[in-house]
Structure 1
Amino acid sequence: MNTLIVQTKTDLNRSLFRSKPFIFFSLGMPVGFYLLFTKVFNMGVPEEYMSVFYKDSMIQMATYSVMISSLFSFSMTLIEDRKQGVKQFLRLSPMPESIYYGSKILTQFLINSLLLIVIFLVGHFVNGVQMDSMTWLTSGLWILYGCLPIVALATIVSLVKDPNTASVLNNMILMPLAIVSGLWWPIDMFPEVVQKIATGLPTYYAAQGAKQLAAGQLPDGKGILIIFIYFVGIMVLSIYLNGRKEEIKR
């Protein structure tokens, strides 16, 4: 347990305090867009709907923030560790790989939780979003659950050797996924075929389930199942691809 805590502290320090791009992309951009949408692009929103608009926009940008962190931060950390020979070092050290991966997952969970807290605070103090403590907690936990497939996807992106190529790949995945999932604009603004695609994506349900919880409702059972299926499926694919890569090296 002590080894896990020490390794997690090291990973947190590297991600939070040594990576300025991480702070900007994972936190600065979503907060900036949230304020832009709610303070500038709020024309036409009826006054009686404004509180819901503030709350839904906060949840959408919180989901987007966790997506950025889960995809960029997690994949880049794994790539950097591989380039520095961390996995080779693990094979020669007494620390089991389970501790290494456990610390990575725990670190990502803590970082994502921190991002949610900051954006929730902005929503509460800047736009007056009001929810009881249990609703804040369950909405945040749901977003963390809903973005698990993105964490799994990051393990596949990390198989790319070049960090620049991985960064381009992450951008190619992130932006279309966020837009189609309705994190930027309501999906009913899109053509019907895009709406159907959206309702089959885990990131759509990551935000949608949190909105339902914020409104005092339970998340859609379909969303729970879709997120779980995507997570398991992507993890199975990741394990297979990692295994194939190790075989090729031999």
Structure 2
Amino acid sequence: MEYLLALAADPAAWIALATLIAMEVVLGIDNLIFISILTNRLPEDQRSRGRRIGISLALILRLGLLGTVAFIVQLTEPIFAAFGHGFSWRDLILIAGGLFLVWKATKEIHHNVDPDPGPDMFDDKGGSIGFGAAIGQILLLDLVFSVDSIITAVGMTEHIPIMVIAVVVAVTVMLVAADPLANFIARNPTVVMLALGFLLMIGMTLIAEGFGAHVPKGYIYAAMAFSALIEGLNILARRSRQRAH
């Protein structure tokens, strides 16, 4: 209790908490886009439940990983070297997650542009993926993003309570934003392609980081924000034309 009271009275702890919450929310955007796109392929009556379960699993995973911080930190230690780079377990997890994202985004883009996608594409009810399969894929990406998130948090503060509060707040924001974001994506088909492009970029970034190439996150999110702004202007222009007609 004295430890928590000392943290509460420390201005540096509050600054670290605010910074970490902001970082966790931004990092959660990647996860939320993937969850939104994937759950939109479920039957309509299962989508909201799928999002809640997926985001809840992200919270459980991150809190569980926080309990093994000492082990998580060791994931950054190189286990073998290749191509002049020492690969750690974190690198391998990022590469695997990036490859999965690239594969998944490419498959979804193919489904959206193929005029005759076959039985794997959306059925008349809007869903073409099993609930268990969707949750399994969400859990896999939750693991990748959670490991990266926790390692980044450890680099910013050594206080576990600060990390726990930041994770809970960030996941709560994801829960609140999940349905509105998914519904917006479902109502605007062009946004689906934009979001899939984001997933491709995120996947390639994860692969690059796994191979030791540092990609500043600010550049990635600035590009995403600019693209989203342009798409927002396109949506407003289309609505204006529709009202004119």
Which TM-score band (shorter chain)?
0.3 to 0.5
The structure, 1 or 2, with the larger RCO (C-alpha pairs under 8 Å, 6+ apart) is 2
Provide the TM-score with structure 1 as the length reference.
0.36
Provide the TM-score with structure 2 as the length reference.
0.37
